[in-house]
Chain A
Amino acid sequence: MKEIERSAQEVIDSFVEAAKDLPELKETYYNQEAYNVVSPDGEPTPEKERAEFRKRFIADMPGSDDQGNLKVEVAKWAER
């Protein structure tokens, strides 16, 4: 584990070195300048379209109850 952490750090150090004398520029977060790409509210998907996905979703769950809830951990702070 320590070895992985150390080797993970290498490229960071290498980066700092490589970027040392480079100018400060605006960060590129996106490959294109686009804003306000939104979709209108509207009719949701009908139930039968979602039924197939629901079956597969539940089939992939490590644990589920008979209503279709996903079984996850009980909260430690609630166990009083």
Chain B
Amino acid sequence: MGRTLEKLDSINRGELSAVDNVWQALERIEKLDKKINSFIELNSNAVAEAEAVHRRLQRGEKVGKLEGLVIGVKSNLNVTGLRATCASRTLDNYVSTYDADVVKRVRAAGGIVIGVNNMDEFACGSSGETSAFGPTDNPAAPGHIPGGSSSGGGAAIAAGLCDLCLGTDTGGSIRNPASHCGVVGVKPTYGLVPRQGLIDLGMSLDQIGSIAPDVVGAALLLETIAGKTQNECVMLDVDKARYLDRLGDGVKGMRVGVSQKFRDLTDPAVMGVIDKSVEKLREFGAEIVDVQLPNLERGLTAYYLIVSVEFFSGTRKFDGRKYGKRIEDVCGEEVLRRIMRGRYISQKEYRGKFYQRALQVRTLVRQELMAALEKVDVIVGPTVPKLPHRLGAKLTPMEMYAYDYLTIPANLAGICAGVVKAGDVGGIPVGVQAQGKILGESDMFRVMHVLEAKA
């Protein structure tokens, strides 16, 4: 039984109370998080919330799928009363005035918000080094970056500081840290999970997803937060999501796609680990099929143009008048870089050449992925092209962006993608990525489940 099911089981059987679960988490955080720095702020109300859940469980009431589990929430999600800082000085005194819809759902399912996870500032990063509240360490490879931008979430799960984490993924920000930290991370199909309350990086790319110690945990959390609401406009017409029942169905007869392009773009040592995962799938009865993704890597620069325009637009409200400070006055370099870039290419005279052209490249990358997914059920490959660097190493912006080559396509296309630990290189975790069709989470989870199992 994996960590998540074990925990739920002991809470269910009354061995561990929800309150004790919170206390244990707080103790671990107290002991370990000074060095890791995966939490920016803790919820002083967590014990009280746990007590409420505990009382309901004692009365025999049905509490919900997450009954008593301790959840970390990324700092770009609104939790009333806690500061949604996005790890930036811009919002370091912004006390959330409302709950994000996913937070409401987590609480409605009996989950207890333990605190707010550290991240790259405004989600503009892939390393976990750009937070205004200090970098986060990688508990699975100390001294190395945990990845980003959901750096705190990945690290907290790796160190066992909480049961599950809500992260966000715009170009790989859940999957990247999941791979580096050796944990499970899932980006759902775009439009499956409500974004009300998520502070924007790129509106047409952002999705909220799960970070967990195991595939069951990731699937459980995703089931809880997924589904249409009347509370925003751009959503898929899906009422409920069910993944757990078919999780253990195996991969026999499934068609799994692999692409030479992955090998071309990836460090051979990393690719070696991935090859073993593909072999495992073959052993378990999947049919391995070659798919063509000729323009995959062109997506990277197109992505950075699109996200810069959308981020520029989304940050216009940070003018310091209603709350916080004016963003351009206090933000970090990468955030400023994206704002300036976005401001530049969205000008009337440049829109066509840059912004709209980038959206055309998006169409191309999307079409290729969709065509590949016509031939197979799931595409399997590496998550990141190279191993995580040491904290503090100097990388140029382009070198930093290069981490995203393999994760960005799923965001451009809006498809689902999940990561599970495949192995390691010299002790540094390597995650294997499974990309599924639009609303193909079920198949994706089945593949991930097989890949997770010890050989």
Interface residues of A (CB under 8 A from B): 4-5, 7-12, 14-16, 18-19, 22-32, 34, 37, 39, 53, 56-57, 59-62, 70, 72
Out of A11, A39, A56, A60, name the residue touching B401 (CB < 8 Å): A11
Size class of the contact patch on chain B: 35 or more
What's the nearest-Cβ distance from chain B to residue A49, in Å?
Answer: 11
B286-327: which residues lie under 8 A (CB-CB) from chain A? 295, 297-298, 300-302, 304-305, 308, 320-323
* B70-111 interface bits toward A, Cβ cutoff 8 Å, 1 = contact, 0 = none: 000000000010000000000001111110000000000000
**B414 A31 Cβ-Cβ under 8 A:** yes
Find chain A residues with CB under 8 A from B413 CB: 31
| Alpha-carbon distance A11/B306, docked complex (angstroms) | 11
| Alpha-carbon distance A1/B123, docked complex (angstroms) | 21
B348-369: which residues lie under 8 A (CB-CB) from chain A? 353-354, 356-364, 366-367
**Interface with A: B16-24, B41-49, B229-237, B275-283, which one?**
B229-237
What's the nearest-Cβ distance from chain A to residue B208, in Å?
Answer: 15
What's the nearest-Cβ distance from chain A to residue B99, in Å?
Answer: 11
B401-423: which residues lie under 8 A (CB-CB) from chain A? 401, 412-414
**B414 A32 Cβ-Cβ under 8 A:** yes
Find chain B residues with CB under 8 A from A8 CB: 308, 337-338, 340-341, 344
Out of B95, B336, B364, name the residue touching A23 (CB < 8 Å): B364
In the complex, the chain B residue whose C-beta lies closest to that of A23 is: B364
Out of A10, A11, A14, A28, name the residue touching B363 (CB < 8 Å): A28
Find chain A residues with CB under 8 A from B336 CB: 4
Out of A7, A26, A72, name the residue touching B396 (CB < 8 Å): A7
Find chain B residues with CB under 8 A from A29 CB: 204, 359
Knowing A7-B397, A18-B301, A31-B414, say if A62 contacts B340 (CB, 8 Å). Answer: no
Out of A11, A39, A53, name the residue touching B305 (CB < 8 Å): A11
**B233 A30 Cβ-Cβ under 8 A:** no
What's the nearest-Cβ distance from chain B to residue A57, in Å?
Answer: 6
**Those 4 A-B pairs whose CB atoms lie nearest each other, nearest first:** A31-B414, A27-B359, A15-B301, A56-B97
Task: Taking A22-B364, A60-B323 as given, write out 10 further A-B residue pairs in contact, using a Cβ cutoff of 8 Å, ordered by the A residue number.
Answer: A7-B337, A11-B398, A12-B305, A18-B297, A19-B298, A19-B357, A22-B361, A37-B234, A56-B97, A56-B98
| Alpha-carbon distance A8/B295, docked complex (angstroms) | 23
Find chain B residues with CB under 8 A from A9 CB: 341, 344
Interface centre among A9, A25, A31 (most CB of B within 10 A): A31
Is B333 an interface residue when CB atoms closer than 8 A count as contact? Answer: yes
Knowing A4-B337, A22-B360, A32-B414, say if A10 contacts B323 (CB, 8 Å). Answer: no
Knowing A4-B336, A53-B97, say if A32 contacts B398 (CB, 8 Å). Answer: no
Is B135 an interface residue when CB atoms closer than 8 A count as contact? Answer: no
| Alpha-carbon distance A11/B344, docked complex (angstroms) | 13
What's the nearest-Cβ distance from chain B to residue A21, in Å?
Answer: 10
Q: List 28 A-B contacts (CB under 8 A).
A: A8-B337, A10-B397, A11-B397, A12-B301, A12-B341, A12-B345, A15-B305, A15-B354, A15-B357, A18-B361, A19-B301, A22-B360, A25-B360, A25-B364, A27-B360, A28-B359, A28-B362, A31-B413, A32-B190, A32-B191, A37-B233, A53-B97, A57-B97, A60-B93, A60-B94, A60-B95, A61-B323, A70-B321
